[in-house]
């Protein structure tokens, strides 16, 4: 039996280079997003670091990228807002001429047990974590399909898979991202566009620093590897997905064994 591969599938890609690729990372100013932005830039991608309010932190990321000879700009946009998300993608296209990679990373928590959870806390989390990926992706998807190349990676969470006490809003938003990932992957599989998710466990960023010390110790004691993850460990999985053209619709777990 002979299996005929199309030209792009046969073309062996450099396993780490992102030279010539233009990447947008939402929430690239801090935490996991800032590490992914720097790692993509180190591999030659031209990077747009999106932020909402942390201008100084975003400028610091740009400075660090330029220090090692990379190319990056920062663009302010609240991705929970549809118009601002469209403008983020439009400005990227105007500046760099295209969009190849979209990392939907921006996220917030408003933890509260369900009976105390306000409508505002519910809506804020759904807007920033889930509605945002509709906003940014709908702005970028036609560009990717036209150029027959695209990589979309959604930063979901173990909480979207296993649930989390006091996190109905966050868990629903992160589970929604996984469903979105699989459905869009089906729709774009023939267009050179892969859509994947990563599901980090607990990672040492400001988001996790908000958890009270006692609760954090309890969480770590339940992680088989007995430690938090690092932002680099999440970025490694993102880079792996960016450089593979036959993985789509998947959710890669990076959680120290906390959910299998
Ligand atoms: P973080 O340190 O709190 O950083 C969050 C980032 O999102 C910041 O750059 C922030 O920028 C940006 N952001 C927030 N709201 C935004 C908005 N409306 N528009 C644009 N950007 C916005 O969080 P992190 O821990 O790095 O988390 C990054 C992603 O990983 C999130 O989606 C989170 O849910 C997910 N995750 C984290 C963990 C963890 O343990 N840390 C585990 C699983 C999944 P501004 O400061 O400018 O608002």
Task: Give residue 210's pLDDT.
Answer: 87
Task: Give residue 16's pLDDT.
Answer: 79
Ligand 1 within 6 A of CB of 173:
no
Q: Where are the beta strands (DSSP E) in 2-147?
A: 22-25, 46-51, 71-76, 101-104
Q: Which of 149, 170, 202, 259 is catalytic?
A: 170
Task: Give residue 161's pLDDT.
Answer: 98
Q: Where are the beta strands (DSSP E) in the chain?
A: 22-25, 46-51, 71-76, 101-104, 150-155, 193-200, 251-254
Task: Give residue 15's pLDDT.
Answer: 54
- Counting from 1 in the atom list of ligand 1, the atom nearest the Cα of 34 is 9
Mean pLDDT by 10 residues, the chain (260 residues): 46 70 98 98 98 98 98 98 98 98 98 98 98 98 98 98 97 99 98 98 92 92 97 98 98 98
Task: Give residue 230's pLDDT.
Answer: 97
In whole angstroms, what is the distance from residue 29 CA to residue 54 CA? 7
Q: Is 134 one of the catalytic residues?
A: no
Tell me the best of 27, 76, 135, 209 to mutate to test the pocket of ligand 1, counting ligand atoms within 8 Å of each CB and taking the most.
27
Ligand 1 within 6 A of CB of 155:
yes
Q: What is the CATH number of domain 17-252?
A: 3.40.50.720
Angle at 178 between CA 176 and CA 184, to 5 degrees: 100
Tell me the best of 25, 31, 57, 129 to mutate to test the pocket of ligand 1, counting ligand atoms within 8 Å of each CB and taking the most.
31
SS3 state of residue 151: strand
Ligand 1 within 6 A of CB of 223:
no
SS3 state of residue 28: coil
**What's the gap in Å between 105 CA and the centre of ligand 1?**
6
In whole angstroms, what is the distance from residue 186 CA to residue 209 CA? 37
pTM of structure: 0.95
* C-alpha dihedral sign at 44, 57, 227, 125: negative
Tell me the best of 35, 50, 207, 209 to mutate to test the pocket of ligand 1, counting ligand atoms within 8 Å of each CB and taking the most.
207
Ligand 1 within 6 A of CB of 79:
yes
Ligand 1 within 6 A of CB of 74:
no
User: Measured in Å, how far apart are the chain's first and last C-alpha atoms?
Assistant: 36
SS3 state of residue 99: coil
Ligand 1 within 6 A of CB of 32:
yes
């Amino acid at each position: 039996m002979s299996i005929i591969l199309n030209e792009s599938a046969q073309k062996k890609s450099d396993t780490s280079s992102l030279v010539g690729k233009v990447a947008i990372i939402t929430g690239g100013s801090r935490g996991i997003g800032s590490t992914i932005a720097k790692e993509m830039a180190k591999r030659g991608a031209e990077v747009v670091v999106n932020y909402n309010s942390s201008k100084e932190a975003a400028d610091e990321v740009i400075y660090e990228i330029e220090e090692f000879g990379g190319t990056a700009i920062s663009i302010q946009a609240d991705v929970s807002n549809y118009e601002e998300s469209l403008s983020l993608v439009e400005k990227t296209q105007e500046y760099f001429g295209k969009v190849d990679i979209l990392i939907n990373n921006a996220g917030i928590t408003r933890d509260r047990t369900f009976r105390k959870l306000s409508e505002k806390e519910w809506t804020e989390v759904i807007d920033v974590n889930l509605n945002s990926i509709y906003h940014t992706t709908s702005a970028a998807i036609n560009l990717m399909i036209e150029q027959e190349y695209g990589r979309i990676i959604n930063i979901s969470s173990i909480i979207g898979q296993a649930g989390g006490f006091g996190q109905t809003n966050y868990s629903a938003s992160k589970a929604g991202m996984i469903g979105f990932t699989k459905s869009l992957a089906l729709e774009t599989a023939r267009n050179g566009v892969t859509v994947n998710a990563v599901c980090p466990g607990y990672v040492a960023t400001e988001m996790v620093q908000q958890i009270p010390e006692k609760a954090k110790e309890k969480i770590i004691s339940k992680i088989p590897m007995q430690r938090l993850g690092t932002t680099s460990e999440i970025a490694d999985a993102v880079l792996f997905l960016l450089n593979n053209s036959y993985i789509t619709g998947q959710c890669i777990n990076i959680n120290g064994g906390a959910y299998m």
